[in-house]
Amino acid sequence: MEIIEANACPDHIHMLVSIPPKMSISGFMGYLKGKSSLIIFERHANLKYRYGNRHFWCKGYYVSTVGRNKKVIENYIREQLKEDTISDQITLKEYVDPFKG
């Protein structure tokens, strides 16, 4: 297994990973989520109380094959945090009523 590109956003993670053809995607994701949650709970013990029974990751994930678009996907992952920041700034709600002086 090889992590080619990865970027952690506040509420999700993008990863470009190379796995052997004999390994199933669901098996790899189960291993990745299981081991990473154990490491996170070991390093940050206070999260055990927030996420009971060690359910840290959601059940779902999105997977796609890369093919000839590897460079495009690598660039997308690198730029994703900037895009999320820009979209968050655009969708900021106005908490002050503009009609009250």
The predicted-structure confidence for 24-46, as pLDDT tens digits, reads as follows: 989 988 888 888 888 888 887 77
Range of the domain at 36: 2-90
97 inside domain? no
Q: Where does residue 53 fall: left (phi above 0), alpha (psi -120 to 50 degrees), or beta otherwise?
A: left
46 inside domain? yes
34 inside domain? yes
**Per-residue pLDDT for 60 more than 90?**
no
101 inside domain? no
Mean pLDDT of 81-95: 61
* pLDDT (0 to 100) of residue 86: 67
Count the domains in the chain. 1
* pLDDT (0 to 100) of residue 22: 93
96 inside domain? no
31 is catalytic: no
Q: Which of 49, 61, 76, 95 is catalytic?
A: 76
86 inside domain? yes
DSSP string of 7-76?
EE-SS-EEEEEE--TTS-HHHHHHHHHHHHHHHHHHH-TTHHHHSGGG--S-S-------GGGHHHHHHH
99 inside domain? no
Q: Please, what is the average pLDDT of the chain?
A: 77
Mean pLDDT of 51-70: 76
98 inside domain? no
Q: How far lies 29's CA from each of 5, 33, 62, 89, 101, in Å?
A: 16, 6, 10, 32, 53
* pTM (whole model) above 0.85: no
